[in-house]
Amino acid sequence: MALTLAVYPHWRTIPELAREIGSRGALNRAILELIQLGLLESHGSSVRPTKAVAYLERLGLP
């Protein structure tokens, strides 16, 4: 999530994230779960946080 928030509102590609994390299988599972929870949105092979997640991040709540 932090890797996508760092560049919001821009999209991150899944292959790009996999290179940074190193485990594509675990990454794919995490991405699918975050999409199902409504925390990430996807467009093809790219993902980014939802507007609500980005807003909460900007608030800086503990």
Question: What pLDDT is recorded for position 13?
Answer: 96
- Whether 53 maps to a domain, the answer reads no
Q: Where in the sequence is the domain holding 23, given as residue range(s)?
A: 1-38
The answer to whether residue 4 is domain-embedded is yes
Domains: count for the chain: 1
**What does the chain come to in residues?**
62
Residue 48 lies in a domain: no
- Condensed to tens digits (0 to 9), the pLDDT of residues 14-49 reads 999 999 998 888 999 999 999 999 999 999 999 999
pTM here is: 0.86
28 domain-assigned: yes
